[in-house]
Amino acid sequence: MRRTAFTFALCSAVAAGCTQDFTIFDPAADSSADALFEAAPPGDASPPSDAALDATLDSAPDAPFDAPKDVVVEAGCNPAACPGHRCTAGVCDDYASCVDMHAQDPSAPSGAYELRPGDASVYTAYCDQTTSGGGFTLVARSVLGQSAASFGWGSATGTVADDTKPYALGVLGVGLSFTELLVGSYSTGKTWGANIYRLTVPQSLASCATSACAVTAISTVLGSCTSPPRLAQAGFTSQAAQFFFDGTATLSGNGLLPGGFSLPGNPPCNNGGKLDGTQGMIFVR
């Protein structure tokens, strides 16, 4: 019978430095998973290295000896299985926004997530984590031939999961601040179409309830048009029939409506950026 002795340090705040020898008997020397703990052959007193004892985190018999550094999933909680894609203290938690999620977990894919801005209530939103740097939240999506009783910056219409009906998050009521918009057409579902524009707007856009706010910058994310004039003004956020956009500060029926974009004019590129008559989405960041 082969005998191997191990010495463990049994220390406490009262008696530091105490040790106790334990003798463990191994009935055979073999190449099984416990071989690392068998006595070294005569003439070789070197103990197994830390690397040998803890090469990987796995389900092999040596798993209890794996170092804590190998543990990447918080015990009892898998972020991928949480509605908010986040774990805190072993339980599911929520990010404050799509921007917050993208900053802390850049690998998180685009999709619908639970979000909680500060002390506000939890809400479900769709995050675009790839377009123009990611971190954008869907606030509006039109559907061909559809109408809605309420559709605007302050309106909560439809559900983010139902692509057959017009959708509006009601962004002014969820506690989400923003200074950028993505405005563009979509092809199907929540996949962008041929023309997308990034607009910079005042953080006080919500205060433009009965007036227009000038868009301070327009850049083309996708498409051949540049700075479409009919995207130069936003605002009138109290309107419940449209997400207003136009070339002047006067209220009109233009912008994104439940049934699609109304941004007329010829040539199309120099007016509505080829968005007029297309189905569209608006994201904020």
Same domain as 208, residue 126:
yes
Other Cβ atoms less than 10 A from the Cβ of 91: the count is 11
- Write down the number of H helices and E strands in the chain: 2, 17
Q: Which of 69, 101, 72, 99 is nearest to 84 (CA)?
A: 101
> Is 123 inside a domain boundary?
yes
Q: Assess whether pLDDT exceeds 50 at residue 90.
A: yes
- Among the ranges given (34-38, 231-235, 236-240), the one the predictor scored with the smallest mean pLDDT: 34-38
Final residue before a domain boundary, out of 55, 70, 85: 70
pTM value is 0.72
Shared-domain flag, residues 258 and 143? yes
Domain assignment present for 250: yes
Cα dihedral across residues 55, 57, 60, 65: positive or negative? positive
Instruction: Note whether 48 and 123 are same-domain residues.
Output: no
Going along the chain, which residue ranges are E strands? 2-9, 19-26, 86-88, 91-93, 111-115, 123-128, 136-141, 167-168, 180-188, 191-200, 212-214, 217-222, 233-235, 243-246, 255-257, 260-262, 280-284
Which pLDDT does position 120 carry in this prediction? Answer: 77
Average pLDDT in the chain:
82
Do 143 and 242 belong together in one domain?
yes
- What tokens appear for 15 in the block? 């008696």
pLDDT of residue 79: 86
Domain count, the chain: 2
DSSP 51: H
Q: What is the pLDDT of residues 132-161, one digit of tens each?
A: 999 999 999 999 999 999 999 999 999 999
Residue 25 lies in a domain: yes
Q: Which domain holds residue 271?
A: 102-284
Same domain, 229 and 122: yes
